[in-house]
Structure 1
Amino acid sequence: MEKAKEFVRHVLLVKFKAETAPDHVEQIIKDYSNLVNLVESLKSWHMAKDAKIINLHESFTHVFELTFEDAKGSAAYMVHPAHLEFHEKNWPHIEKAIAIEYKSTPFCT
């Protein structure tokens, strides 16, 4: 059996600060989504609003899921100038965040 590709996923739950205007939040999201065009190792970018942790009300407003081909790609993203610039510019608008990174593991029965 051929081995399945084991992508690295980076999931980020975010709560934007209340004083950050909705149109500014939308611009931050557009800028964030554009990183997929600027960072070669970032293979896909997805988001959703009103993120919830089941049975735990933490009031996160957005969830983002980034996919990398491998751990080296994720590491390259973390130090990429476009990511660092985005982070420095927009981190002041974040009230809280949780990041989870994992390598997808194929499961066969």
Structure 2
Amino acid sequence: MEEAKGEVRHVLLAKFKGGLSEDEIDQLIKGYANLVNLIPPMKSFSWGKDVSIENLHQGFTHIFESIFESTEGIAEYIGHPAHAEYANLLLPQLDKVLVIDYKPTVVHL
């Protein structure tokens, strides 16, 4: 594994199950966003809906990205009771999910 220190991004791609209302989805997103207030190593949270014209989304409709201070921070996040409680609410509402953690490489031209 690469060095643990340094910013790590946690990306979750999701497809919500059919039958959920926009309000229900909004409440789930608000719950996800609130984790940044409860889990100290989670430094930021952003999200959005797919708007690509390429049609390569493979059914995923939403993207969620969190920034952590290190891979240890992600481990703390995963083990945190607030994350476990939230995951138990979110995951049953998803048809598809994909999670990738990565250390960003910035290219300066």
Q: TM-score range by the shorter chain?
A: 0.7 to 0.9
Q: Which residue of structure 1 aligns with residue 38 of structure 2? A: 38
Q: Which residue of structure 2 aligns with residue 100 of structure 1? A: 100
For 1:6 and 1:40, the matched residues in 2 are separated by 15
For 1:51 and 1:13, the matched residues in 2 are separated by 13
**Offset at 1:59?**
2.2
User: 2:41, 2:76 within 8 Å by CA — same for their partners in 1?
Assistant: yes
Q: Does 1:60 align with 2:60?
A: yes
For 2:39 and 2:57, the matched residues in 1 are separated by 33
1:1-109 superposed matches below 5 A: 6-50=6-50, 56-107=56-107
Unaligned runs of 5+ residues in structure 1 are none
Count of aligned pairs = 105
Over the residues paired in the alignment, what is the CA RMSD in angstroms? 2.1
Q: Helix, strand or coil: the match of 2:15?
A: strand
For 1:14 and 1:51, the matched residues in 2 are separated by 14
Q: TM-score, normalised on structure 2?
A: 0.85
Unaligned runs of 5+ residues in structure 2 are none
User: 1:51, 1:62 within 8 Å by CA — same for their partners in 2?
Assistant: no
**Offset at 1:106?**
4.6
The 4+ residue runs of structure 1 with deviation greater than 4 A are: 106-109
Percent of aligned pairs with the same residue? Answer: 46
User: 1:9, 1:66 within 8 Å by CA — same for their partners in 2?
Assistant: yes
Q: TM-score, normalised on structure 1?
A: 0.85
